[in-house]
Structures are given as structure tokens and as C-alpha cells.
Amino acid sequence: MASRDIIVGIDVGSTSVRTVIAQIFPEEEKPRIIGVGSSLSSGVRKGVIVDLEDATKSINESVEQAERTAGISVDRAMVSIGGNHIVSQSSKGVIAVGKADGEVTEDDIERVINAAQAISVPANKEIIHIIPKNYSLDDNKNIRDPLGMNGVRLEVDAMIVEGSTPFIKNLTKCVEQAGIAVSEFVLAPLAASKATLTKRQKELGVVLVDIGGGTTSLAVFEENDLLHTTILPVGGSHITNDIAIGLRTSIDVAEKVKLEYGNALPREISKKEEINLSEIDANEEGIVSRYHVSEIIEARLEEIFLLVNKELKLIGREKLLPAGVVLTGGTSKLPGAVDLAKNVLSLPAQNGFPMQMGGLIDKVDDPTFVTAVGLVMWGLENGDASRTGGLIKSPLAGSVLNGMTGSMDNMKKWLGKFLP
């Protein structure tokens, strides 16, 4: 099996690390998922690495599980990046069209995007993505793709996504120590949007809300352009903490209560329903009201949706997105979460699931896998280096990553398969 046929996505989250391996077949329209892995995440808090060794072990476990499923070894991957260190800003780039006859070439488009990148970036930040929103050619505004058009002055409105350099270096180190070279970092909500949102939804206006363990990330699209993206420092683990405090129980028991008995709408729960904690954990005792648990969940989820609404208000899109809200992430699976989102945001709402993939689709047909699947789709669209074996420079990425990085780790990992 040629390595050039393989794309790998690793979603490093606060509660789990998920890996998807896909193979491309020229005769098939969709990439075929051949390997899936998932492990509990240690050493990551609110999307940020806090323990290198634990995070490396989690990544390694997830990748090895996916490799066993696929029956192959991998050495490169697209990797998600998140955390509230991510910031975005708008930028403009302006150039004169190069050719004498005024026809816009790919070189002109690359130059104008590079011009938009020429902004002041703090010493501890680096550019992750440069995302062109629209172009202007002389007096023609809002052009999607100016290639082949004629004009003199080419402009681009772009969104610059920046991340903390120390965090990026720490994440790179963890992935490389697991024997994987990073092809490209992709902002988690952008990857998730690749897997879940249709072109029509992006055209009409939609917000993707990915409720992870430690953070909630969102991406707003309209007229096929990315309008806004941000990461909020609150997620599903906060609900678990609230339940643990409210019931005076351990985090592990609180998590089980949330998953087995949780509901975001107290009105759907009878006030007489009770939960016997000793049935969940023999070391616990006491009976608690399921209605009370539902009230705790509703309060925290409502806070998350109010923060999302605040972001929509900032960009003038409050209650104004016809395609509504698409919820992803583990917390979005809680019963009543979709209805609560409808009520708080006054928009249509639905759960998001991965699309446009073949193979082991039943293993990833879940809102928790959308980012990992989206990474594979991103790699497919933007020329993942794992299929070219050399240097990568994506038009949407701010850095060039060497294909040889981590080669010694890869050699050790390969030899380890044959040594006792």
C-alpha cells in the first residue's frame, strides 16, 4: 500500500484523543476510512498541553489503535489545534497584477495572500491559518476566485488565525514523540466544519458549535465565507464538575450520572424520578433527584449557549442565521441539548455527523468524531504532505513543516514492532 494514498487525522482534545486513517482510491469518489482509534486524554486541559509525557502516551495509544484496525503503520498526520490561546483578526492584502495583459494568475493570488500575512504578530504568537474571505479586482468587489480574470489592482480580505508559539511547540513535541510528524495544524472548528456542514448551509448562514470537554469552539459561515471563529473556555467537563459539587460525589460518579441519566431539559423529567448512587458505584451511598441533576446540566449548557449568542451579537448575526446551529462534540449528545440550543439562540438546531466518507463509517458516525474526520478531508483538499512525502506549504497555513521531522522516533517505533 503506497503511503501517498493515506491521510491521517489526529484530534487531540481535553477528554479524548481520536485518530482516523483514510485511504484514497482513484476509482472511488469518497475517501475510505480504514482505521479508527480513540483513547482517554491525559495531560491536556482546556485544549492546552499541561503534561508532555501523559499527552504523548494518549496520542500514542490512539494512533496505535487506529494502526491495528487499518493493518498499517503511519508516520504523518494532520493534527487539530484548539484552546483559548487562539485568536483571529482580519487583514487586507493589496498587489498589482503581474502580467502585462492584466490576467490574474495563481502567482498573483499567492502574492496577495502573502501580503495579507504581513501584519504585526506578537513574539509569542505565530500564524496558523491565512483564510481568504473574498477578493476585489479594481472596482469588482466580493469575488470568490479571481483566477483568470483581468484587472490591475488585486485585493484580498483575509482572516488571520494565530496561536501561542509555546503551546504549538509543546503539541508538536507530543505528536513527534509518539512517532508522528505533523503535516499541518488545523483549527479544530474549521476541521469540524469540513466534515459536518454542507455548502448550502455555509451559503445561507450557519454556526457550528463544538462542545468539547474543556472548551467550546465555534465557527460562523455566511455566503460560503468564514465570518468568525473563537474558542470559549467552558465545556462538558464543567457540567461534570457542577454535578459532582451539587451531589457531593466524586468526578467519576458525576460523569456516569451525566452520561446515564443526564438531560438538558428538566421539564421532561418527573420530579419523582430518583438515582441510586450505590448502583453506579458501590462506595457511594444516597439517593438523588434526577430532576435536580437535569437542572444543573441545563444551567451550565444555557451559559454556554448564552456565550455563543454573545459572539453572534458581536458580529451582528444574533438570530440571523437561516441554517441555524449545528452541534458537535460529546456534550451535544446529551438529551435535550438541541432543544435547549433552539430556545436560547432562537435558531434552528441539529446535531452534526461526519459526511462524505466511506469505509468504516459506522465507527465514526458520531458527533465526537467530526473533527478527526474533518482533518482527513482538510488534508485531502489542501494536499496533505503524507501523500507527497516532502515539505508542506498549505495556502491556508502560516508555516512550512519539514517532512523529515521525527524520523528517528519513527525508526524506533518501526524497530519496536520486531524487537521483544
Residues sharing a CB contact under 8 Å with residue 221, sequence separation 6 or more, in sequence order: 193, 197, 201, 202, 205, 206, 207, 208, 227
Average pLDDT, the chain: 87
Q: 209 pairs with which residues across the strands?
A: 218, 327
> What end-to-end distance do the CA atoms of the chain give, in Å?
26
Task: Render pLDDT for 6-20 as a digit per residue (tens, 0 to 9).
Answer: 999 999 998 899 999
pLDDT at residue 373, as a whole number = 93
pLDDT at residue 364, as a whole number = 84
Per-residue cell: 366: 458520531
CATH at 144:
3.30.1490.110
Task: Render pLDDT for 351-398 as a digit per residue (tens, 0 to 9).
Answer: 999 887 777 777 888 899 999 999 999 998 876 534 333 223 333 333
How far from 130 is each of 153, 358, 372, CA to CA, in Å? 20, 30, 21
Domain boundary among 302, 332, 352: 352
**Same structural domain for residues 110 and 127?**
yes
Domain boundary among 301, 319, 352: 352
What is the DSSP-derived secondary structure letter of residue 234?
A: -
**Same structural domain for residues 392 and 285?**
no
Distance CA 29, CA 17 (A): 28
Task: Render pLDDT for 102-123 as a digit per residue (tens, 0 to 9).
Answer: 999 999 999 999 999 888 888 8
Q: What's the total number of domains in the chain?
A: 3
**Same structural domain for residues 67 and 186?**
yes
How far from 80 is each of 73, 119, 187, 269, 393, CA to CA, in Å? 20, 24, 6, 37, 17
**Same structural domain for residues 294 and 241?**
yes
pLDDT at residue 9, as a whole number = 95
**Same structural domain for residues 185 and 48?**
yes
CATH at 252:
3.30.420.40
**Same structural domain for residues 397 and 363?**
yes
**Same structural domain for residues 233 and 293?**
yes
Task: Render pLDDT for 262-295 as a digit per residue (tens, 0 to 9).
Answer: 999 999 999 999 999 988 888 888 899 999 999 9
The phi, psi pair for 157, rounded to 5°, reads -100, 120
- Confidence (pTM): 0.85
**Same structural domain for residues 60 and 209?**
no
User: Are 42 and 57 a contacting pair, CB within 8 Å?
Assistant: yes
Amino acid at 370: V
Tracing cell 491495528 back to the chain, one arrives at: 68
**Same structural domain for residues 156 and 246?**
no
Domain boundary among 352, 373, 404: 352
**Same structural domain for residues 64 and 183?**
yes
pLDDT at 407 over 60: no
**Same structural domain for residues 138 and 184?**
no
Task: Render pLDDT for 312-322 as a digit per residue (tens, 0 to 9).
Answer: 999 999 999 99
**Same structural domain for residues 334 and 216?**
yes
**What is the extent of the structural domain holding 108?**
87-164
Distance CA 226, CA 345 (A): 20
Distance CA 321, CA 301 (A): 20
